[in-house]
């Protein structure tokens, strides 16, 4: 399987997972406290050269997911929860 096709499949799976998460995490269905238990991230490794269009699509999807939360909860989901769990500036090597 070529690298581009694999990337497209991965992006499609991410989009499906994001859509399912949006439906499940919709604030009207769950208490706002859920935003203290959720964080978002990517596995965009520097070892892999993403096509710029694919990279842009991944980032747009992440921002769409973050935008589904109320403004007061977005920073927690985007990075504050991860900082609390892993420590500020944590990276995976």
Distance CA 21, CA 14 (A): 10
Distance CA 93, CA 83 (A): 17
If pLDDT is split at 50, 70 and 90, which confidence band does 64 have?
confident
Residue 66: which of 49, 78, 80, 54 has the closest Cα? 78
Q: How many CB atoms lie within 10 A of CB 79?
A: 15
More confident residue, 33 or 64: 64
> Is it the case that residue 79 has pLDDT exceeding 60?
yes
Delimit the domains of the chain by residue range: 3-85
Residues 66 and 74: beta-carbon distance below 8 Å: yes
Q: pLDDT value at position 88?
A: 82
Q: How many CB atoms lie within 10 A of CB 44?
A: 12
């Amino acid at each position: 399987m070529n690298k581009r096709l694999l990337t497209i499949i991965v992006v499609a799976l991410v989009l499906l997972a994001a859509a399912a998460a949006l439906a499940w995490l919709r604030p009207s269905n769950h208490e706002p406290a859920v935003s203290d238990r959720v964080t978002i991230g990517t596995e965009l490794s520097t070892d892999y050269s993403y096509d710029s269009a694919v990279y842009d699509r991944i980032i747009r999807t992440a921002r769409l997911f973050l935008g589904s939360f109320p403004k007061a909860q977005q920073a927690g989901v985007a990075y504050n929860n991860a900082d609390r769990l892993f420590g500020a500036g944590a990276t995976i090597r």
